Each structure stands twice: as structure tokens, then as C-alpha cells.
Amino acid sequence: MASGMGLCCCFIVVVMALLKGATAAQTYEVGDSLGWEVPPNSSYYTEWASNKTFYDGDKLSFNWTGSHTVRYITTAAEYDNCSKNPSIDIGSPFVLTLNRSEQPLYFFYCTVNDHCKRGQKFSINVLKLNSTVAAPPSPSSALSLPIDAFVAVLSTMVTLVLIYI
């Protein structure tokens, strides 16, 4: 009986942890260990981003040494031709919280010299984080279950505990 209750409590702790994990925003280091630099090839950052799913509220951290900027715009026009019009004054690391309602598409590039033309650029879209939809990428497939299912399990466990008490 006591061990049964212990098991129930254990389940509840696990379920709570999963629920928390399902809504936690992710922080991505742009470019991983390279950081935000002129890349070794022009598809480096596109390849980096292609592998990831970005959700509303996730953060991107741009970390660099030397002279770089981060310009982020909503349309492809100036991104495609690496337009250098604005002067941007930001320091590293620059951490941006993605906001889908403000900007569903982000086009990022460095405005310094020819860095953008050499591939220091990438674009992403930001998905809505639904309460009933898959959580951000995670090693555990359990996290892709709907939250409703967790809530159902949770209330079952609470009921069981109450019955035991």
C-alpha cells in the first residue's frame, strides 16, 4: 500500500516534469560551435537552421568575435541582395526571443562588408506553439503526446492517491 502510493507520487512527479518540458522554450546557439561568423561555406547557416523547428518564444543566441551585426527583417528582398543600408549597433552575445505574432518569418544576416554574400545569413519560420501540439524538439518521443493525455493521466493518479488515503 505504502509503496503503491509512492509509485503514484512518482508518476505524478514524472508527469509534471513532462508537462513543464512540453512548454519550455528552447535557446539555440546560432551556428553551434562556430558561432555567428563568416562561415566556411555559403550554405553553413542554412544547413544549421534546416535541421531545426523553431517555435514562438524560442530564443536565438548570436555569439561572435570581431566585427559583425545581426539584421533581421520580415521579407526576402533585402536579404536576397544583402542590402547594407542600416547601421546596427549591437554587441555579442545578442539574444533574440522569436515572436511569431510580430514576425512569422525571420531573415537574418550580417551587414558588415561582404559577410552576407559569403553566407553569413539564414532564414527561418516560427511555428505556433499549441497546447495540444508537439513540444519543441526533444529526445523523448513521449513529449509529442498531447498535453490532454498527460492531464488525463495526472487526474487519474490524483484520484488513485485520494482513494488510497
82/153 with CB nearer ligand NAG: 82
Segment near ligand NAG (CB under 6 A); pick from 9-17, 40-48, 107-115, 151-159: 40-48
Beta bridge partners, 106, equal 124
Beta bridge partners, 95, equal 61
CB of 127 to ligand NAG, least distance (A): 6
Contacts of 105 (CB under 8 A, 6+ apart): 74, 75, 123, 124, 125, 126
Q: How far apart are CA 18 and CA 30, in angstroms?
A: 26
Residue 21 contacts ligand NAG per CB under 6 A: no
Mark residues 106-145: x for contact with ligand NAG by CB under 6 A, - for none: ---------------------xx-x--x------------
In the three-class reduction of DSSP (H, G, I as helix; E, B as strand; rest coil), residue 29 is classed as strand
Nearest Cα neighbor of 116 from 72, 75, 74, 53 is 72
Segment near ligand NAG (CB under 6 A); pick from 8-16, 76-84, 109-117, 148-156: 76-84
CB–CB of 58/23 below 8 Å?
A: no
What is the contact surface with ligand NAG in residues (CB under 6 A)? 35, 40-41, 43-44, 47, 51, 56-57, 63, 77-78, 81, 83, 93, 97, 99, 101-102, 127-128, 130, 133
